[in-house]
Amino acid sequence: MTVTAEDPSEPPVPVPAGVSVPPDAVPLPSTEELDRLVAKLDLPAKVRLLSGSAVFRTPAEPAVGLRAITFSDGPVGVRGERWDERDAALTLPSPTALAACWDEELVEELGGLLAGEARRKRIDVLLAPTLNLHRSPVGGRHFECFSEDPLLTGRTGAAYVRGVQSGGVAATAKHYVANDSETERLTLDAHIDERTLREVYLAPFEAAVQAGAWVVMSAYNAVNGTAMSESPLLDEPLKGEWGFDGLVVSDWGAVRSTAASARAAQDLSMPGPNPLWGAALVRAVEDGTVPEAAIDEKIRRILRLAARVGALAGQPPHSFPAPAPSPAAARTLLRRAVAAGAVLLRNEEALLPLDRTRLRTVAVIGPNAAAARIQGGGSAGVFPATALSPLEGIRGALAGIAEVQHCAGVFLTARPTPLSARDARDPRTGEPGILVRYLDDQDAEVHVEHRLSGRILEPTDDGADISAATTVEVSALLRPARSGEWQFAVVGLGQVSLLVDGRALIDEYVTPESRDPTYLHVAPSFRQVAWQAEAGQDVRLVARRRMEAGSGYAVALAADPPRRDEDAELAAAVELAGSAELAIVVVGTTDEFESEGFDRPGLALPGRQDELVAAVAAVNPRTVVIVNSGGPVAMPWRAAVPAILLGWFPGQEAGDGLADVLFGAAEPGGRLPTTWAARTEDVPVLDTVPVDGVLHYAEGPRIGYQAWLHATNEPAFWFGHGLGYTSWSYEGVSAPGTLAAGAALTVDVRLRNTGARAGREVVQVYLSRPPDGSARGPERRLAGYAAVRAEPGETVTATIRIAPRAFQYWSPEHSGWRTEPGDVALFVGSSSAELPLRAALEVTAETSVAGPGAG
Ligand code: BGC
């Protein structure tokens, strides 16, 4: 293959329609070819390529035929290079919900959908999946990670990577490694012993690399004393032992040194330009502090990534299928995913599925019923084109059948609600929407935009020069639907003001409370005022913020309608519930409680939601609770309600997908990817607060269900638990009696659908060493799983392949994986606690040390 680097504008060779090439079949430039390109660049030109040219973009270099490479968050959708609500994104369920599917085929298909979105938005690299673990259930980005179990995380993550990359878009395994909580996330130093690191926290990254991930993101935090952007772990095991030939991008702002990070196997610093990797790095190479060979290797990796995503001229053309399903097909898939990930935790007397034809009156209650809480907060946020709330979904399903009434019962958010095109008009044109003006020092207009949201997270849209602007102004006309005391707010840092009908009600300097990028740029502080408004009489709102360095990008104009007194609201909801045949209560969190940048204080549902559920259940025995959260919450009322359905953050098709489950159009397919505690204080591994900057992973490899096996109190729901709409009998397991060290194992499990409906069952195999034997093995660890489907009365066999790794442990003494000979018990069942079948196995002694990467 010839690299014609001289001509970046070379026209692509036409590809026959419908021909696709698996990502790894794309021939890549050889090391010699890459070296030839590197040799064309002088040192400053090379160093220029090592940090971004903007927040989500790298510099182009025509001398080697390199165009800019574009990045976007991830993981629930492809936001695009810019935070702009006009650029809508298909929005998937939260990663916790994807892991709950235990369905790699579906996750891969969803990854393909994301690839189509990325291609549509001209994004080369999707900043997902997040492969950190649910070490503690209060971790702020729990919703964005898959599971507490490394195997489930690894398999789900690998499927996600394959799906995204099948469309020619790079997936990013992030955040490498041990970014499992958010408190002091930029600086925390996770102290983890070698064996735990290998067996637990690195394992999902290893799986992603084996699946062919093109990009890995180094985390903000440090591990065992070294910041991850400077860590030897980038070399070994990542690039050495695992053979990762892709690119290591930093988390945004994580490169905070010149020589230490440049000498490490950190390839690209984002965003950019990063002055630490600018002239300072050129000097460090010139004075010999950083070897030029290290720089060359980074460039080679950037060029290799560019070749993979079609950003390097002269490479074979991209012949990936452009996975662009019709909008209707995409929505159908997303709707299917909601049901596939929804976990039915409890279903007394088979209350679910509900027979629609028998319903006449339904009360839909709860703060998250009418407001679609479809995603968690932080850098992962995307702008859905539509977002169907549970209430809308239920109403749609019961249209013409039953009367559906709604009452929130509890008010959850303290954060103001930004105006939107649904409730505000542009004061200039009267069109639905918001006016944004960028003004210079004399208040002269530099640039004007019409927006669909009062939350503006970017300085301006592409192309406009706003360098002369010093103030951003967001204004709108609001016609209040109700008379009463409204709350108006301006969100943003630095000098902010708010004018209501020409009166300056806020004018103050808001000092940042944190340096965390998510706080600064996505969800900064706000200031709010009360205002008596009359229904139907327009109010003119003008928010302003001075654009000062260090005060972030965000500004928002927000308005919240008068609220009923909380007691009266709760009483109204309970009365409504008592008068209906059925009560559906949607409780949960919001991005104010579950987000990047901070951990949750505990598992309690925010506000008076527990009180609400208990009161509703007391007046209506037919109460279904839908939990709308990304991570575990405590449910002190759980024994008092007959049905509990966990919907996670379900993505844009929340309403229809949940209605499908409620009314039986789809079976709830989810199984818990993480153990749910009954109470915060029972959680065996909870603490996420570093002491003097250090967070000790003192529990070692035992997290999640493995830790719960040793806890004093039982959890509310174990890892792997989830009910479908049919029942199963586990009839037998067959497995060989002996296994040679280093070999894979196949286990066949026979089970029968004993219910009246076709269904899908996730058969789980856990491995256990006798507790009185060697202390090395875990007492119960997920070793494999497979899903089966069966018709009523049908018997099927689930074939579960267990990789050699399941029988191995990491030996620091040998710096390698070892198989421990001896007796092993296999437990088979439907969750980590429901294990009706058992098989015994003897693992024979290994003849030589198992090589790295077995598995
Ligand atoms: C997050 C990353 C994200 C990046 C870019 C960081 O704050 O930790 O997950 O990809 O920002 O938005």
- Alpha helix (H) residue ranges in 31-103: 31-38, 43-48, 95-100
Report whether 298 contacts 285 (CB < 8 A).
Answer: no
CA of 470 to the centre of ligand 1 (A): 27
- Report the C-alpha gap between 118 and 123 in whole angstroms: 5
pLDDT for position 317: 63
Alpha helices, DSSP H, located in 145-258: 150-165, 194-196, 203-210
Same fold across 31-87+111-137+157-187+203-309 and 424-560: no
Q: φ, ψ for residue 77 (rounded to 5)?
A: -175, 175
Distance CA 580, CA 622 (A): 9
Question: Which atom of ligand 1 is least distant from the CA of 73?
Answer: 10
Closest ligand 1 atom, residue 518 Cα: 7
Show the tokens assigned to 627.
Answer: 């939990």
pTM over 0.85: yes
Q: How many CA atoms lie within 13 A of 406 on its CB side?
A: 15
3-state secondary structure of 839: strand
Residue 534 structure tokens = 């009359």
Q: Which of 55, 71, 73 to mutate to test the pocket of ligand 1 (most atoms within 8 A of CB)?
A: 73
CA of 73 to the centre of ligand 1 (A): 7
Q: Give the C-alpha separation, 544 to 307, whole Å.
A: 44
- Name the residue at shortest CA distance from atom 5 of ligand 1: 252
Task: Return the best residue to mutate from 144, 220, 251 for the ligand 1 pocket (most ligand atoms within 8 A of CB).
Answer: 251
Name the pLDDT band for 16 (thresholds 50, 70, 90): very low
Helices (H), 599-720: 609-619, 654-662, 705-708
Average pLDDT score over the chain: 93
pLDDT tens digits along 497-532? 999 999 999 999 999 998 888 898 888 999 999 999
Question: pLDDT band at 551, cuts 50/70/90?
Answer: confident
CA–centroid distance, residue 215 to ligand 1 (Å): 14
Distance from Cα 379 to the centre of ligand 1, integer Å: 5
pLDDT of residue 5: 30
Interval between CA 776 and ligand 1 midpoint (Å): 36
How confident is the model over 317-348, as pLDDT tens digits?
Answer: 666 665 567 889 999 999 999 999 999 999 99
What is the predicted pLDDT for the residue at 851?
45
Q: At residue 478, what are phi and psi to the nearest 5 degrees?
A: -120, 130
Residue of the CA atom closest to atom 2 of ligand 1: 251
Written as six digits, the tokens of 533 are 């408004």
- Residues 763 and 751: beta-carbon distance below 8 Å: yes
CATH 3.40.50.1700 fits 329-408+575-708, yes or no: yes
- One-letter amino acid at 102 equals W
The CATH architecture to which 424-560 belongs is Sandwich (2.60)
Q: Is the pLDDT of residue 429 over 70?
A: yes
Atom of ligand 1 nearest to the CA of 379: 12
What gap in Å lies between CA 365 and CA 587, rounded to an integer? Answer: 8
- Please report the sign of the dihedral spanned by the C-alpha atoms of residue 808, residue 811, residue 816, residue 818: negative
Give me 532's structure tokens.
């008596």
Q: Which of 592, 594, 598, 633 is nearest to 613 (CA)?
A: 633
> For residue 517, which atom of ligand 1 is closest to its CA?
7
Residue ID of nearest Cα to ligand 1 atom 11: 252
Instruction: Please tell me the distance between residue 160's alpha carbon and the centre of ligand 1 in angstroms.
Output: 18
Residue nearest to atom 9 of ligand 1 (CA): 379
Write down the pLDDT at residue 123. Answer: 96
Please check whether residue 266 is in contact with residue 247, taking contact to mean a CB–CB distance below 8 angstroms: no
Report how far Cα 681 is from the mean position of its chain's Cα atoms. Answer: 26
Atom of ligand 1 minimally distant from the CA of 270: 5
Q: Computed from CA positions of residues 395, 757, 830, 180, in that sequence, does the dihedral angle turn out positive or negative?
A: negative
Q: How many CA atoms lie within 13 A of 376 on its CB side?
A: 31
In this predicted structure, what is the pLDDT of residue 848? Answer: 53
Catalytic member of 103, 124, 180, 251: 251
* Percent of the chain whose predicted confidence (pLDDT) is above 90: 86
Give, using CA atoms, the residue closest to atom 3 of ligand 1.
379
Choice among 371-385, 467-481, 698-712 with the minimum mean pLDDT: 371-385
Does the pLDDT of residue 3 top 50, yes or no?
A: no
Question: Bigger pLDDT: 211 or 853?
Answer: 211
pLDDT at 421 over 90: yes
Q: Where are the alpha helices (DSSP H) in 489-528?
A: 517-521
**Domain 31-87+111-137+157-187+203-309 classification at class level:** alpha beta
- d(CA 265, CA 237) in angstroms, rounded, equals 11
Which are the contacts of 182, defined by CB distance < 8 A and separation ≥ 6?
139, 140, 141, 596, 597, 598, 599, 688
Per-residue CA distances from 330 to 122, 326, 384, 684 (Å): 19, 6, 13, 40
Q: Is the peptide bond before 353 cis (omega within 30 degrees of 0)?
A: yes
Nearest-atom number in ligand 1 for the CA of 179 is 8
Interval between CA 390 and ligand 1 midpoint (Å) = 29
Q: What is the pLDDT of residue 846?
A: 72
Distance 374 CA to ligand 1 centre (A): 19
Q: With beta carbons less than 8 A apart as the criterion, state whether 609 and 634 touch.
A: no
Ligand 1 atom closest to the Cα of residue 271 is 5
What are the angstrom distances between the C-alpha of 837 and each of 708, 753, 796, 827, 833?
21, 16, 15, 6, 12
Q: Which pLDDT score, from 0 to 100, does residue 773 have?
A: 46
User: What is the third-level CATH fold of 728-843?
Assistant: Immunoglobulin-like (2.60.40)
Sequence-distant (6+) residues with CB within 8 A of 326 are none
37-47 pLDDT tens trace: 999 999 999 99
Q: Quick check: 847 pLDDT over 80?
A: no
Task: Supply 854's token pair.
Answer: 């077995």
Distance between Cα 521 and ligand 1 center (Å): 11
Index of the ligand 1 atom closest to the CA of residue 185: 8
Q: How far is the CA of 671 from the centre of ligand 1 (A)?
A: 28
- pLDDT score for 27: 75
Best residue among 71, 126, 127 to mutate for probing ligand 1's pocket (most ligand atoms within 8 Å of CB) is 127
Q: Please identify, by atom number, the ligand 1 atom nearest to the C-alpha of residue 130.
A: 9
Q: Which residues line ligand 1 (CB under 6 A)?
A: 73-74, 127, 174, 251-252, 379, 517-518
Contact 669, 723 (CB under 8 A): no
The average pLDDT across 58-86 equals 96
Closest CA to 306 of 14, 126, 128, 70: 70
SS3 assignment, position 783: strand
Q: How far is ligand 1, taken at its centre, from the CA of residue 446, in Å?
A: 30
Q: Whose CA is nearest to atom 7 of ligand 1?
A: 252
Probe residue for ligand 1, chosen from 252, 268, 516 as the CB with the greatest number of ligand atoms within 8 Å: 252
Q: Where are the alpha helices (DSSP H) in 609-672?
A: 609-619, 654-662
Span 368-393, pLDDT tens digits: 999 879 999 888 899 999 999 999 99
Extract long-range pairs of 234-240: CB within 8 Å, 24+ residues apart. Answer: 234/176, 234/264, 234/265, 234/266, 235/264, 235/265, 237/198, 237/202, 237/206, 237/852, 238/176, 238/205, 238/209, 238/265, 239/265
Residue nearest to atom 12 of ligand 1 (CA): 379
Residue nearest atom 4 in ligand 1 by C-alpha distance: 252
Distance (Å, whole) CA 524 – CA 378: 11
Rounded alpha-carbon distances, angstroms, from residue 813 to 92, 193, 202: 44, 13, 18
Question: Which sequence spans correspond to the domains of the chain?
Answer: 31-87+111-137+157-187+203-309, 329-408+575-708, 424-560, 728-843
Region 107-133 average pLDDT = 96
The pLDDT value recorded for residue 459 is: 67
pLDDT in tens, 437-460: 999 999 999 999 999 999 998 766
Q: Is the pLDDT of residue 463 over 80?
A: no
Q: How far is the CA of 166 from the centre of ligand 1 (A)?
A: 23
At residue 24, the pLDDT reads 54
Token couple for 445: 């207009």
Question: Which residues on neighbouring strands pair with residue 764, listed in sequence order?
Answer: 785, 829
Residue nearest to atom 6 of ligand 1 (CA): 252
The reply to whether 251 belongs to the active site is yes
Give the pLDDT score at 651. 98
- Substitution site in 379, 521, 596 for ligand 1 pocket (most atoms within 8 Å of beta carbon): 379
Distance between CA atoms of 432 and 374, rounded to whole angstroms?
24
Q: Atom 8 of ligand 1 has which residue's CA nearest to it?
A: 251
pLDDT by residue (tens digit) across 241-259? 999 999 999 999 999 999 9
pLDDT in tens, 163-174: 999 999 999 999
Model confidence band, residue 315 (pLDDT cutoffs 50, 70, 90): confident
